[in-house]
Structure 1
Amino acid sequence: MTSNETAQGAYKTGEYAITKQDLTKAALSIGALGMEFSWTYANQMGLAFGMMVKKMLKKIYHDDPSGYAAALERHTAFFNITVCLAPFVGGIAMSMEERIAKGEMPPESVNDIKAALMGPLSGIGDAVFLTTIRVVAAGIAISLAAQGNVLGPIIFLLLFNVPQYFLRVWGIHKGYEIGVSLLETAEQSGIMDKVIKAAGIIGMMVVGSMTCGMFWATLAVEFGSGDEVTTLQSVLDGIMPGMLGLAFMGLYYFLLKKKVSPMILILGTMVLGVVGVYFGILA
């Protein structure tokens, strides 16, 4: 099967089939465009991602209300990415959900794939759009504005947003097509389980790196005297850098499994931070 045939075959017909129009509408929906407007500490862009794909999920699970509810819960889980690349991941996710609805894939595989894609795609997206296109667009716009040209801000908006909107629409279609062809190839070769397992491993690596990179706390407890004074934090870093963040991640994971509300954990962390700094335990 050629790539063109695979792409054409990705779009099925029927009342409950996902169409090109469905994908385009999702890429330009309030969920896709509001990825950062509904950002939360608990799920980051998870709520917006769920809003982006919910209409397509309703089609996939049109005769299975409990399946739809479970799928919607899956797609409101933790998610974070360069916003214009979210529709691309959404397209891949919907091609997987069609297989999950048929019982051909385990439900947890879709979030493994999403987690595996977050880090690499964000690295590319941030470099291209935030540190390159945005800077170039701002430079041109500022130069025009400094000369009194009213086109300055308009040029900035066009240079920065036109590529993003094109990528949103093209990305969700390409993601859906790639998802179908990838799954078909993996299924035919018998490596589907290996792909899912590898995605899960990469996803855990992404979560692990975020645990270390997004945790900001230092133990200020000192011991020793004179020139031999050292901190507990330096001792822990000597054993394993990021140990404190790993410990708290494990604690939060345990509490979440015990159904403790994420908002309680967030508020508790804020209180713990203030109290720790006040008593000189944290810095």
Structure 2
Amino acid sequence: MNNKITKKELRSVFWRSFALQGAFNYEKMQNIGYAFSMEPIIKKLYSNKDDQAAALTRHLALFNCTPAMTPAILGITTAMEEQYSDDSNKMDPDSINSVKAALMAPLAGVGDSLLFGTFRVIAAGIGASFAKQGSILGPILFLLLYNIPAWLLRIYGLSYGYKWGVNSLEKIQKNGVMNQIMSIVGIIGMMVVGGMVATMLPVKTTLKFSMSGATVKLQSIFNQIIPNLLPLVVTLLVFWLIRKKVSISKLTVAVLILGILLHVIGIL
């Protein structure tokens, strides 16, 4: 495969990645910013307007990750788009979004813990200690100690993400490993979604009834059947409605109103 992407396009992707959250939305989160970051790559790889439109549409899928970790995914995505544009018969374009979906959750976990939970806390502590003494070094040190690691992650993430993709994708395709990777990606994706449902959707009922003089809580019965049964039911219901093309914005408002009403009348 002849490399079509130069440092010029990668620099453009790098600077555009800072606008990742510029059009954040509750339906597909950072997807517009991601597509905006990929635009220079798409224009370089595809001369046909229909191919460019298809590629941009492909990158408008749901995406959400720590901004500083996203350039690594952008680099790998760039390599995959380059491979696909070189020979579309070698790669299913759906695998590009599958890899994005598989990478964004674990990298977000690492990025949030490393940057927001570690570097920012340390930088704020050091900066606050100087600021408390009236020193101008307080805000300067805070900005430097937090942003230097974030910038290094962006720069080397994009560079090594692209190099890893270019050097590995062709071998992976020839060895037939891509199908195995896609299978693993699917399993990991389902595990991540299942874990998020169980830990981040605390839906519980407060309903109870009396039986033979004893009070039985309905939630305890659900827990004995399947732990976190109600979050699972809510998730599957919302998923079914999305498959039926119900607007996510309408669903968000409906779930919010319904949750408030059920809490007020004492069901949840």
TM-score (norm 1): 0.86
Question: 1:44 Cα shift?
Answer: 2.0
What is the rounded CA distance, in whole Å, between the counterparts of 1:100 and 1:233 in structure 2? 50
Q: CA deviation at 1:134?
A: 1.0
Report the counterpart of residue 118 of structure 2 in structure 1: 132
| Segment of structure 1 superposing worse, 32-41 or 250-259 | 32-41
Match of residue 242 from structure 1: 228
Residue in 2 aligned with 1:151? 137
Q: Deviations over 1:46-82 (max 9, x none)?
A: 222122112212222321x333323222222222222
What does residue range 112-191 of structure 1 map to in structure 2 within 5 Å?
112-191=98-177
Does structure 1 residue 86 correspond to structure 2 residue 73? no
Aligned partner of 1:51 in structure 2 is 36
1:68 to 12, 34, 52: 52
2:63, 2:104 within 8 Å by CA — same for their partners in 1? yes
Structure 2 portions without partners, runs of 5+: none
Distance across 2 between alignment mates of 1:108 and 1:214: 28
Q: Classify 1:61/1:230 alpha carbon distance in 2 versus 1 (closer, same or farther; 3 Å).
A: farther
Counterpart of 1:175, as a letter, is: G
Provide the aligned length of Structure 1 versus Structure 2: 266
Q: Distance in 1 between matches of 2:228 and 2:10?
A: 41
Structure-2 separation of matches of 1:35 and 1:231 = 46
Moved more, 42-51 or 81-90: 42-51
For 2:30, give the aligned amino acid: M
Aligned-partner Cα distance in 2 for 1:108–1:223? 50
Letter in 2 for 1:58: K
The answer to whether the 8 A contact 1:81-1:119 is kept is: yes
Contact 1:113 1:199 in 2 (8 A): yes
| Among 81, 86, 91, the residue aligned to 1:97 | 81
Structure-2 separation of matches of 1:215 and 1:109: 29
The residue number in structure 1 matching 2:12 is 25
Cα distance, 1:107 vs structure 2? 1.8
Identify the residue that residue 272 of structure 1 maps to in structure 2: 258
Single out whichever of 264-273 and 20-29 deviates more from structure 2: 20-29
2:216 aligned partner: 230
The structure-2 alpha-carbon separation of the partners of 1:267 and 1:116, relative to structure 1 and needing over 3 Å to count, comes to: same
Secondary structure in 1 aligned to 2:32?
helix
Identity %: 38
The SS at the match of 1:28 is: helix
- The 8 Å contact of residues 73 and 161 in structure 2, kept in 1 or not, is answered as yes
1:226 CA displacement: 8.9
Q: 1:226 to 1:79 in 2, by over 3 A?
A: farther
Q: 1:273 to 1:116 in 2, by over 3 A?
A: same
Q: Spell out, residue by residue over 1:103-160, the C-alpha distance to the aligned partner (whole angstroms, 9 max, x if none).
A: 2211221122112112221222122211211111111101111111011001101110
Report the equivalent of 1:39.
24
Give the partner amino acid of 2:259: G
Q: Is the 8 A contact 1:28 1:169 kept in 2?
A: no
Provide the rounded CA distance (Å) in 2 between the counterparts of 1:35 and 1:229.
52
Residues 113, 203 of structure 1: 8 Å contact kept: no
CA distance in 2, matches of 1:276, 1:258: 24
Flag structure 1 segments of 5+ consecutive residues without an equivalent: 1-8
1:77 equivalenced with 2:64 (yes/no): no
CA distance 1:144–1:275, shift in 2 (3 Å): same
Counterparts in 2 of 1:156 and 1:107: CA distance versus 1, 3 Å: same
Q: Is 38-47 or 77-86 further displaced after alignment? A: 38-47
